[in-house]
């Protein structure tokens, strides 16, 4: 007795790319894992701004992790030393060692880049 098995590659590809299929479930797990790592690695409250989604891309489904915090570019790229001046007020106000301090300008030393999104992606694979 012989058994014949026919494989239709086109049908397999369609099943894998189907919404809710095996590939999407795996992609969803991995994307969520990367987003959770990014939330933990983000400085301060920046992790509250991390979101993820699965969307249709040019080559099929893709997982997307974003951070829409207003300062995310400064954290990811770092900053050079720069002067900070008040925009609307007469002075800057900040807490320093438990005391409220006022200044007309601050010489910021700059910040080292912190690519927490890239690190999360590398770790979450």
> Which pairing describes strands 60-67 and 50-57: parallel, antiparallel, or unpaired?
antiparallel
Range of the domain at 48: 27-123
Q: Is 31 inside a domain boundary?
A: yes
| Residue 37 CB burial class (10 angstroms; 0-12, 13-18, ≥19) | buried
Q: Is 36 inside a domain boundary?
A: yes
Q: Is 105 inside a domain boundary?
A: yes
Q: Is 77 inside a domain boundary?
A: yes
**Per-residue pLDDT in tens (0 to 9) along the chain, 125 residues:** 777 878 888 777 777 667 777 888 899 999 999 999 999 999 999 999 999 999 988 877 899 999 999 999 999 999 999 999 999 999 999 998 999 999 999 999 999 999 999 999 999 98
Instruction: Convert 61-80 to b/e letters by CB count within 10 Å (16 or more is b).
Output: bebebebebeebeebeeeee
Q: Is 42 inside a domain boundary?
A: yes
Q: Is 35 inside a domain boundary?
A: yes
Q: Note whether 46 and 75 are within 8 A (CB).
A: yes
Q: Is 53 inside a domain boundary?
A: yes
Number of structural domains (the chain) is 1
């Amino acid at each position: 007795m012989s058994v014949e098995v026919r494989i239709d590659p086109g049908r397999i590809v369609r099943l894998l790319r189907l919404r809710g299929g095996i590939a999407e479930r795996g992609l969803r797990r991995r994307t969520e894992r990367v987003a959770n790592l990014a939330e933990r690695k983000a400085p301060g409250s920046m992790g509250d701004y991390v979101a993820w989604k699965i969307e249709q891309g040019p080559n099929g489904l893709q997982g997307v992790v974003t951070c829409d915090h207003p300062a995310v570019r400064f954290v990811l790229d770092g900053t050079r030393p720069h002067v900070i001046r008040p925009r609307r007020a007469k002075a800057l106000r900040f807490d320093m060692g438990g005391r409220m301090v006022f200044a007309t300008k601050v010489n910021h030393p700059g910040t080292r880049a912190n690519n927490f999104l890239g690190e999360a992606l590398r770790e979450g694979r």
